[in-house]
Amino acid sequence: MKKFNRAITYGTFDLFHIGHLRLLKRISALANELYVAVSSDEFNSIKGKTCVIPFEERKEIIAALNCVTQVIKEDNWEQKISDIQKYHCDLFVMGDDWEGKFDFLKPYCEVIYLPRTQGISTTAIKKSMKQ
């Protein structure tokens, strides 16, 4: 597979788990640099999500990973095209549960959907915490 210069991905990254780490490592292996956009608390509220971990702490966790070059803030759905252009990204990657949803970005960069780690998700962790 082609090695890209700069990849970008987006996510909430609440309750950071092995699935998050494995996905970010796989994305990092595809490019020289990895930019990660972490959803702000305000944006999560608009999406109807409530985070256990506040934005600044989620951002700090992601920034501490060796495979991540830079962390940016995601404030809205519409910023993806401007982020790709601003940060000169030639690869956009999301989990395969988003398959096809970001194909509109193909005129700006390569778009790839990677399989999620089986058996783990933030939603499942939150559900088990409530029990």
CA distance 69 to 101: 25
Q: Is 127 a catalytic residue?
A: no
pLDDT of 122 above 90: no
H/E element, 28: helix 18-30
Q: How far is CA 3 from the centre of its chain?
A: 19
Q: Which residues of 87-117 are buried (b: 16+ CB within 10 A; e: fewer)?
A: eebbbbbbbeeeeeebeebeebbbbbbbebb
| Mean pLDDT computed over 113-131 | 68
Going by C-alpha positions, the residue among 106, 130, 97, 108 that lies closest to residue 11 is 97
Going by C-alpha positions, the residue among 18, 30, 49, 15 that lies closest to residue 114 is 30
Tell me the one-letter amino acid at 80.
Answer: K
Q: What is the pLDDT of residue 117?
A: 76
Question: 112 falls in which pLDDT band (50, 70, 90)?
Answer: very high
Q: What is the pLDDT of residues 31-87, one digit of tens each?
A: 999 999 999 999 999 999 889 999 999 999 999 999 999 999 999 999 999 999 999
Q: Contact at 8 Å (CB) between 9 and 112?
A: no
Specify which residues 74 forms β-bridges with. Answer: 39
| Catalytic position from the list 47, 86, 101, 106 | 47
| Catalytic position from the list 25, 49, 73, 126 | 49
Q: What is the pLDDT of residues 24-41, one digit of tens each?
A: 999 999 999 999 999 999
Helix (H, G, I), strand (E, B) or coil at 34: strand
Q: Is 47 a catalytic residue?
A: yes
